Amino acid sequence: MFNRETNSFRTFGRAKGKPLSPAQAALMETEFPRIDFGEAVKAGENPLADIDGKVWLEIGFGGAEHLLWQAEKNPDVTLLGVEPFLNGVAKAVRGVVDKDLNNIRLHRGDARDVLKLLPDNSLDRVFVLFPDPWHKARHNKRRIINEEFLAQLYRVIKPGGTFRFGSDIIHYVDWTLTRLKRHGGFEWPASSQDQWRVRPDDWPSTRYLEKAIREGRSGHFFEFTKRDTPS
């Protein structure tokens, strides 16, 4: 689907799944508003205006397992989570409540709307983990990893900050590495296959990754560091 207002293709599939349970719906009504930064996005305001310290952004957090794990393990970091899928957002809210976390903020929507509002050099780390691969060649243009997206990432990540990308689709891995190399603003210091074929200790597994492994696909795990200037 092409959005004429943003002059871009939609990078995600459905935005809703099965109806929320009464408990989920109640949490979305009572708890989601206190951690939702969607109003700032709608108003075109900087979502980080009242946040101090380190900030990490996860784009498309799915079932929120990774987002919640990172927030729990890194209480000194503010985690921004952006996800268009209602059921995923509801799971994140449930986890925030159950784990009594106070360092997560959420937005249900398109991450590109958030990126364009962030100040230069404002993020310490960005995660794009196992995004929709859009397998068919005619749909490749919907992949979130593209030249415009990488330019925005480079702008908002601090020098020396990191971009983590994961995928179980080797064609998408090649696609991403090709565009990152072309951009030239990120360094990939890998010196062995273990550095991208073995999941790091601080990269928790998720239901999606476990499903991919059951279906015979391997995860690929990348961390890129922003250069001071593009090469």
Let me know if 132 is a catalytic residue: yes
Q: Where are the beta strands (DSSP E) in 4-53?
A: 8-9
The residues, any chain, with a CB within 8 Å of residue 223's CB and separated by 6 or more, are 162, 163, 164, 188, 200
Query: What span, in angstroms and rounded, lies between the C-alpha atoms of 200 and 177?
Result: 19
Query: How distant, in Å, are the alpha carbons of 56, 107, 216, 220 from that of 190?
Result: 22, 33, 24, 12
- Tokens, residue 193: 């296959």
Query: What span, in angstroms and rounded, lies between the C-alpha atoms of 213 and 197?
Result: 13
Query: What span, in angstroms and rounded, lies between the C-alpha atoms of 120 and 146?
Result: 19
Q: Which of 98, 100, 132, 194 is catalytic?
A: 132
How would you class 225 by CB atoms within 10 Å of its CB: exposed for 0-12, middle for 13-18, buried for 19 or more?
Answer: middle
- The catalytic residues are 132
